Amino acid sequence: MPSTMQRRLQITVEGKQYEVLVEELPTGDGDRLYSTAPMRAAAVVSAPAPAAPPPPAASAGPAAATDRTAPLGGVIVSIAVKEGAKVNQGDLVAEIEAMKMKTGVHAHRGGTVSGIAVKVGDAVEAGQRLMTIS
């Protein structure tokens, strides 16, 4: 009996990605059959592949003394202030999630939020500017 060959493939069904193991079956004359017609195949479906994280938000260069930067890399899950808001040093201004743990980001100085550089869902890197407090 001719040997069969297994291949690991990734397929997307209704927006969800799955990893499958597909066994190619010979046609009997030494060739492999590739067709869209139904044929015998064994497939083992594993859990969906995790979604890729969103790309980091663009950074506008080095941070100024008035900029509140990300203390660690992660994803912005909330922004607790709006542009124009008055904040005191230590006030919660945002939350970052990294490795399923949320970290509060607090104002490094008192003042007025004069610009917000990120939005909820943005991936950020440590040291990236989140907002300006002047």
Whichever domain contains 115, its CATH number is: 2.40.50.100
Q: Are residues 72 and 125 in the same domain?
A: yes
Confidence of residue 15 (pLDDT cuts 50, 70, 90): confident
Q: Is residue 85 part of a domain?
A: yes
Q: Is residue 28 part of a domain?
A: yes
Q: Are residues 77 and 110 in the same domain?
A: yes
Paired tokens of 123: 């991936």
Q: Are residues 81 and 118 in the same domain?
A: yes
Q: Are residues 71 and 41 in the same domain?
A: no
Q: Is residue 56 part of a domain?
A: no
Boundaries of domain holding 94: 67-133
**Please, what is the average pLDDT of the chain?**
79
Find the distance separating the first CA and the last CA of the chain, reported in whole Å: 77
Q: Judge if pTM exceeds 0.75.
A: no
| Mean pLDDT, residues 22-39 | 57
Q: Is residue 99 part of a domain?
A: yes
Distances (CA, A) of 28 to 2, 3, 81: 8, 11, 69
Q: Name 4's Cβ contacts closer than 8 Å, sequence gap at least 6.
A: 23, 24, 25, 26
C-alpha 117/C-alpha 68 separation (Å) is: 10
pLDDT in tens, 116-129: 999 999 999 999 99
Confidence of residue 38 (pLDDT cuts 50, 70, 90): very low
Total domains in the fold of the chain:
2
Q: Are residues 79 and 128 in the same domain?
A: yes
C-alpha 41/C-alpha 95 separation (Å) is: 48
DSSP structural state of residue 85: -
Residue with tokens 């509060």: 104
Q: Are residues 76 and 123 in the same domain?
A: yes
Q: Is residue 77 part of a domain?
A: yes
Q: Are residues 41 and 71 in the same domain?
A: no
Q: Are residues 76 and 120 in the same domain?
A: yes
